[in-house]
């Protein structure tokens, strides 16, 4: 393996603050660094062919990246929607619990008054 080939196959360094969920996005965005041959000795048609091939490869990478990112966005939107639904459920439960607490407190306040007003007490 040549020196240039070994360099282009080295993995990208990671930071300590990288989270596991970002690995998928990084895998989508970071491609190996391939080296292009020099086109100085090529004629015009060969240069055009090489450039067209490079453009096609870059378009495919762009398309793959967009698909991956769109998938990730859809997953995150679904997760957000589920979290919002859960939040609404919890808000409803909280309102019900507060109402029940008020009712219990009012019964506790009324209960001693009723027992002290009864002729048996």
Residue pLDDT, tens place only, 45-83: 999 999 999 999 999 999 999 999 999 999 999 999 999
pTM: 0.49
Write down the domain spans for the chain. 22-117
Asked if 95 and 48 count as a contact pair (C-beta separation under 8 A), the reply is no
Residue 79 phi, psi dihedral angles, 5° rounding: -60, -40
| CB-based burial, 1-16: b 16+ in 10 Å, e otherwise | eeeeeeeeeeeeeeee
The better pLDDT of the pair 82, 23 is held by 82
Q: Using one digit for the tens of pLDDT, what is the confidence trace for 88-104?
A: 999 999 999 999 999 99
CB of 28 closer than 8 Å to CB of 68: yes
- Is the separation of the CB atoms in 121 and 115 below 8 Å? yes
């Amino acid at each position: 393996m040549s020196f240039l080939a070994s360099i282009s196959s080295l993995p990208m360094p990671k930071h300590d603050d990288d989270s596991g969920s970002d690995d998928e996005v990084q895998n989508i965005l970071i491609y190996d660094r391939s080296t292009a041959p020099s086109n100085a000795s090529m004629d015009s048609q060969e240069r055009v062919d090489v450039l067209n091939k490079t453009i096609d490869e870059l378009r495919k990478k762009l398309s793959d990246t967009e698909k991956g990112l769109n998938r990730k966005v859809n997953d995150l939107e679904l997760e957000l929607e589920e979290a919002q639904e859960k939040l609404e459920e919890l808000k409803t439960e909280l309102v019900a619990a507060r109402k029940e607490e008020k009712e219990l407190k009012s019964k506790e306040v009324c209960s001693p008054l009723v027992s002290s007003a009864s002729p048996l007490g």
